[in-house]
Structure 1
Amino acid sequence: MNERPMDTRVPVTVLSGYLGSGKTTLLNYVLNNRAGLRVAVIVNDLSEVNIDAALVRDGGGLSRTDEKLVEMSNGCICCTLREDLLREVEKLAKEGRFDYILIESTGIGEPIPVAQTFMYEDEEAGIRLSELCRLDCMVTVVDAYRFWSDFASGETLLDRQQASDELDNRDVVDLLISQIEFCDVLILNKCDRVADEELDQLESILRKLQPRARFIRAIHGEVSPQQLLNTRLFDFEEASESPGWLKELTHGIHTPETEEYGISSFVYERQLPFHPERLMAWMSDWPSEIVRSKGIVWLASRNEMAQSFSQAGPSVQFGAAGNWVASLPKAEQQIIFQQDHEIAASWHPRFGDRSTKVVFIGIHMDRKQIEAELDQCLITSSELEMDWQSLLDPFPQQTSA
């Protein structure tokens, strides 16, 4: 029997997590307990002075002669410094003297663009990073002590003076969610500062948001390197499909409720459009027990275009998601039917593929009440025959997806 060829690419682990979660403390612990691996470390910091890199340098976990610490400052490796990251990793891999590359992303970095960097191929420049490196593991560190206060803050990164630039108006909660929903390992850090029952509830809701990841509880970032290095856990397609809302919405995979902590989820699905004013009124008094929701909404006043809906804590985003197939010319519809049999099978004789489908994840949710309140926001039988374009639409206007 032929043996599989040995993978000589340099493995890479990426650490993500909001500011103050304990990434640098974790990194130093791994470096001081890595059993002889020769490691190159890249530390990304938005500020001009790379404080985290200084902490790693002074932490005593790197050999001054055999290993390397690379500082990437004044930008974020998920956006402005992404090309720099590409070239830096390529250079380290080509040196041929490192067993491993560890990357600590800035606290406001999103993991998906960083992961995509390792799939990048530049034919003109002759860069094929996937031939030199193997992205082994995406790690997200969550501050168990501050999570709920950050989640419910309603603040933007600009409010906290943590933004990458003056145009970076991301909500803190949206950043937290992006880091949680795309990872292989999720570390709940600072567990000594949270009561056991609160910690159990937090872990349960995070498992609902991210059912694929390995969960590790930690104090002072003390996590065995074996749980983060050479794991072979990363798979881009699997990671992209790992959020709990997506599994439930697209695959019908419903993770069992954790009744002890009141955590549950459900899909709200209706083949009638929402009245825009009534839906806006309901959303303006958002039920606090709904932690996360996401999906596609059919708004009567926007009958040609599906609306994308995403909520995390106090942050709600609503905008165009693309045309309904039913709004396209017949010839285009037929082509789509041939490519996607599910659309043809579920086609409504009057409304086509138009429908609302939203996943709700929360704590102590009253599903019947939420569904009843949303049903009250739907177009009534008498409104079905009216001109929907005449309805007052209070939602932000957007002409295309």
Structure 2
Amino acid sequence: MQKSPAQKIPATVVTGFLGAGKTTLIRHLITHANGRRIALIVNEFGEVGIDGELLKSCGAPDCTEDDIVELANGCLCCTVADDFLPTLQKLLDRPNPPTHIVIETSGLALPKPLVQAFAWPGIRSRTTVDGVITVVDAAAVAEGRFAEDEDALAAQRAADPNLDHDNPLEELFEDQLGCADLVLLNKADLLDEDAMANVRSEIGTHLRQGVKTLAISKGEIAADILLGLHAAAEDDIGARKSHHDDEDDHDHEDFFSFSITLPEQTAPEALLQRLAPVIDEHDILRVKGFVAIVGKTMRLVLQGVGARLSHYYDRDWQSHEPRATRLVVIGRAGLDEAAIRAALAA
């Protein structure tokens, strides 16, 4: 006998491009869960599970390490059967299952295959996609990193041989918007009213009818807004158009990532000064990781999106952790790993 929709455990898919602020959003969500038992499935892109570790260290009393499952074996949209469905099944089979499941995809993931997975036998009767939340870096969009202007895109293709045929970054961005039930325009504090209006206008061309956009800053938004959308997204999957609808799968050959371990740093500013020109010279999309600072007992979290770098101390280093700097670098295929390693180690 099938459970009624009211009895199904709701799941929220949080998607968005690299550095949009998904992890910050989820940290805020689980620390303001208001008694909800939330389980997290985190899909990390890169060798070092930065996002998973950040979430596990958030300190929320209602969210223990057992409630966070990290899948680092590839993009969830490519490993649904092998990784995602068994993980979801284990969460549902717990003696005391969560009241809500939140899935953070990697910046490279297509949300539609995940939504389709909820229609599989054994899953459909027990859980439902409450909503797909797409987090957008509004400041990046305002700067034209994902502009829909055909002339600008043509210039990008002409300047970059990697974009001669298709631009997977553009397609991925559009697919994440097209599958959304709610779009969060993060980093709104960096924009004035005119710039935000332009972002809304550009984003709106890719949204299904009725999908709302909300401007937020630092990932801060009430849980009651994010959870409880009751979209049942698996039931209207046909309306969520994708560039990859006619493909069996997609690849990520246009992206490359690697991790680098460095010794303790003398000061955050010194590392940022080394990073900035390297990011610019090699067109690095994303840098993130943990930094050990000489004389500091706390771990420094470093986040970089393009040329924008930020950092903060999150907690003390634990006794079993080596005091070292671990960074993940993400960029397009052809990234000169050796040159980047040499520049950062200098």
Normalising to structure 2: TM-score of the pair? 0.60
Task: Give the match for residue 51 of structure 1.
Answer: 50
Q: Do the aligned residues in 1 keep the contact of 2:118 with 2:234 (CA within 8 Å)? A: no
Does structure 1 residue 137 correspond to structure 2 residue 131?
yes
Q: Do the aligned residues in 1 keep the contact of 2:128 with 2:233 (CA within 8 Å)? A: no
Task: Give the match for residue 106 of structure 1.
Answer: 106
Task: Give the match for residue 216 of structure 1.
Answer: 214
Residue 82 (structure 1) shift = 4.5
Task: Give the match for residue 85 of structure 1.
Answer: 84
Q: Which moved more, 1:73-82 or 1:131-140?
A: 73-82
Change over 3 Å in CA distance of 1:77–1:62 after alignment to 2: farther
- Alignment RMSD (CA, Å): 2.8
Residue 135 (structure 1) shift = 1.1
Report 1:274-313 matches (<5 A): none
Report 1:140-179 matches (<5 A): 140-147=134-141, 148-152=143-147, 171-179=168-176
Q: Do the aligned residues in 1 keep the contact of 2:129 with 2:234 (CA within 8 Å)? A: no
Q: Find the partner of 1:183 among 156, 159, 180.
A: 180
Deviations 1:172-205 (A, max 9, x none): 1111000011110100000011121110121123
Task: Give the match for residue 200 of structure 2.
Answer: 203
Task: Give the match for residue 298 of structure 2.
Answer: none
User: SS of the counterpart of 2:60?
Assistant: coil
Task: Give the match for residue 294 of structure 2.
Answer: none
Report 1:117-132 matches (<5 A): 117-121=117-121, 128-132=122-126
Task: Give the match for residue 41 of structure 1.
Answer: 40
Q: Do the aligned residues in 2 keep the contact of 1:38 with 1:66 (CA within 8 Å)? A: no
Return the letter of the residue paired with 1:199. Answer: M
Change over 3 Å in CA distance of 1:67–1:9 after alignment to 2: farther
Deviations 1:341-369 (A, max 9, x none): xxxxxxxxxxxxxxxxxxxxxxxxxxxxx
Does structure 1 residue 76 correspond to structure 2 residue 81?
no
Task: Give the match for residue 191 of structure 2.
Answer: 194
Change over 3 Å in CA distance of 1:151–1:6 after alignment to 2: closer
Does structure 1 residue 235 correspond to structure 2 residue 233?
yes
User: SS of the counterpart of 1:131?
Assistant: coil
User: SS of the counterpart of 1:83?
Assistant: helix
Deviations 1:233-268 (A, max 9, x none): 23345454256xx9xxxxxxxxxxxxxxxxxxxxxx
Structure 1 CA distance, aligned partners of 2:81 and 2:105? Answer: 11
Q: Do the aligned residues in 1 keep the contact of 2:42 with 2:70 (CA within 8 Å)? A: yes
Residues paired across the two proteins, number? 227
Structure 2 CA distance, aligned partners of 1:221 and 1:66? Answer: 21
User: SS of the counterpart of 1:150?
Assistant: coil
Structure 2 CA distance, aligned partners of 1:6 and 1:112? Answer: 21
Structure showing greater radius of gyration is 1
Change over 3 Å in CA distance of 1:100–1:129 after alignment to 2: same
Deviations 1:263-320 (A, max 9, x none): xxxxxxxxxxxxxxxxxxxxxxxxxxxxxxx9xxxxxxxxxxxxxxxxxxxxxxxxxx
Structure 1 CA distance, aligned partners of 2:204 and 2:4? Answer: 36
- Structure 2 gaps of 5+ residues are 244-346
Q: Do the aligned residues in 1 keep the contact of 2:110 with 2:172 (CA within 8 Å)? A: yes
Change over 3 Å in CA distance of 1:213–1:87 after alignment to 2: same
Change over 3 Å in CA distance of 1:231–1:73 after alignment to 2: same
Structure 1 CA distance, aligned partners of 2:5 and 2:168? Answer: 44
Return the letter of the residue paired with 1:115. Answer: V
User: SS of the counterpart of 1:109?
Assistant: coil
Report 1:224-373 matches (<5 A): 224-236=222-234, 238=236, 240-241=238-239
Structure 2 CA distance, aligned partners of 1:75 and 1:208? Answer: 30
Q: Do the aligned residues in 1 keep the contact of 2:132 with 2:233 (CA within 8 Å)? A: no
Structure number with greater CO (CA < 8 Å, separation at least 6) is: 2
Deviations 1:120-141 (A, max 9, x none): 13xxxxxx11112111111000
Structure 2 CA distance, aligned partners of 1:25 and 1:66? Answer: 17
Task: Give the match for residue 322 of structure 2.
Answer: none
Change over 3 Å in CA distance of 1:5–1:111 after alignment to 2: closer
Residue 114 (structure 1) shift = 0.8
Structure 1 CA distance, aligned partners of 2:16 and 2:125? Answer: 27
4+ runs deviating over 4 angstroms: 64-67, 152-156
Structure 2 CA distance, aligned partners of 1:228 and 1:35? Answer: 13
- Structure 1 gaps of 5+ residues are 122-127, 162-168, 247-293, 295-401
